[in-house]
Structure 1
Amino acid sequence: MKKMAIAMLVAPAILAGCATSTSDKTDALDVSTVNMQHHNWVLESVDGQPLNLPEGFAAPSLEIGESFTANGHAGCNRYFGQGELKGEQFRIDKMASTMMACPEQAMAIEGVMTNVLGDWSDVTLTKQTLQLKNGEHVLSFQLRDWVN
C-alpha cells in the first residue's frame, strides 16, 4: 500500500517533467541549409549579456540568402562571405568587410561577431532563434525577417 501511495505521488512529477521537455523540443529545428537560409537574424545578446551599443548604432545582423551566402552588419562595418555548414557547425568562409572606424563599443562587438562567424561554431536553431557558440563566445540572434 505504501509503495502504491509513493508511486501515485511520484508519477505526476515524472509526467510533468516529460511534458516540459517535449514542449521545449517542439520549437527546435534541424540544423540545415534549408532551415537557416532565406532569413535575417538580429543579434540580441553576447555571452548571455544584452547588447550595449553606442547611441545611433544598429544591432549586428546575419542574413543567410540564396546559395547560403551570408552578409550583415557586424557592429560597425558590413561583412559578406560564403556560409558553410558541417554537421551542426556553421562558419562564413572567405569573409570580407568594409573598413570604417567606429566607437570602441561597436568595434568590440564587431570583433566578437567576426571571431564567431569566421570560425566553426556550434549551431542551435529554433523557429525564432539562432545561437552560435565557439570556444570563446555565444551569440544569440532573434529572427527578424525582411517584410515586403
Structure 2
Amino acid sequence: MRLVLLSLLLVLAGCQAPASNQASQPKVPTFYNHWELFAIDAVKVPRLKPAQRLDVDRNYMVSGMAGCNRVFGQGKFEAGVLTFENLSTTMKICPAELDRYEQSITEVLSNDPKVTMYRGDLVLRANHRVLQYRLVKETSSQ
C-alpha cells in the first residue's frame, strides 16, 4: 500500500512540475500581424495616405510604409528586442508631412527597438522615440 501511495505521489509531483515551469517563463509578445501607425512619442498621428503600415510575419520579416517609402527587412527577435541585419527602404522624395513620420519610423526600426504590447497595441522604443501601432487585421494563422 505504501508503495502504491509513494508511486502516486511521484506521478502527481511530476505532473505539476511542468506547469510551474511554464508559469515562470516570461511571456513573449506575439506581434506578427498587420499594424497601422497610431502615435509617435504619445502624439496621435492623423490617418495618412498612404497609411503608415507595418506587417510582421511569424519569421519576423517586416514590410510596410514608413512615409512615402516602403521599408522591409528580415528581423530577429531576442530578449524583447527586434534587430535587422539589413533594413531597406525605397528612395522616393517625400513631402514634408510624410517625411517627418518617415524619419521617426526609420530611426526606431534602424536602432534595435524594444518591442512591447500595451493594451493590444504594438509599441516600439528606440533612441528616446516611441512608435505605437494599432492592429489593422489579424493574421488568420495565429
User: So what's the TM-score if we normalise by structure 1?
Assistant: 0.68
Mapped contact 2:39–2:133 kept (Cα < 8 A): yes
User: In structure 2, do the counterparts of structure 1 residues 147 and 134 end up closer, same or farther at CA, with 3 Å as the change threshold?
Assistant: closer
Q: Which residue number corresponds to residue 131 of structure 2?
A: 139
Structure with higher helix content: 1
Q: Distance in 1 between matches of 2:94 and 2:88?
A: 17
Out of 91, 96, 100, the residue aligned to residue 99 of structure 1 is 91
Out of 88, 93, 100, the residue aligned to residue 108 of structure 1 is 100
Mapped contact 2:67–2:99 kept (Cα < 8 A): yes
| Residue type of the alignment partner of 2:98 | A
Q: Distance in 2 between matches of 1:119 and 1:63?
A: 18
Q: Which residue number corresponds to residue 27 of structure 2?
A: 30
Percent identical across equivalent pairs?
A: 27
Shift of 1:80: 0.8
Mapped contact 1:131–1:140 kept (Cα < 8 A): yes
User: In structure 2, do the counterparts of structure 1 residues 112 and 85 end up closer, same or farther at CA, with 3 Å as the change threshold?
Assistant: same
Q: Deviations over 1:31-79 (max 9, x none)?
A: 35xx122x011110000001146xx623311111242211000011011
| Residue type of the alignment partner of 1:102 | C
RMSD across aligned C-alpha pairs, in angstroms? 2.3
Q: Which residue number corresponds to residue 129 of structure 1?
A: 121
Q: Who wins on radius of gyration, i.e. which is larger?
A: 2
Shift of 1:92: 3.2
Query: Which runs of 4 or more aligned residues in structure 1 lie more than 4 Å from their structure 2 counterparts after TM superposition?
Result: none
User: So what's the TM-score if we normalise by structure 2?
Assistant: 0.71
Mapped contact 1:123–1:131 kept (Cα < 8 A): yes
| Residue type of the alignment partner of 2:31 | M
Mapped contact 2:60–2:77 kept (Cα < 8 A): no
Aligned length: 115
Mapped contact 2:111–2:127 kept (Cα < 8 A): no
Mapped contact 1:131–1:139 kept (Cα < 8 A): yes
Q: Which residue number corresponds to residue 42 of structure 2?
A: 48
Q: Distance in 2 between matches of 1:79 and 1:135?
A: 19
User: In structure 2, do the counterparts of structure 1 residues 82 and 147 end up closer, same or farther at CA, with 3 Å as the change threshold?
Assistant: closer
| Residue type of the alignment partner of 1:85 | F
Q: Which residue number corresponds to residue 20 of structure 1?
A: none
Mapped contact 1:30–1:125 kept (Cα < 8 A): no
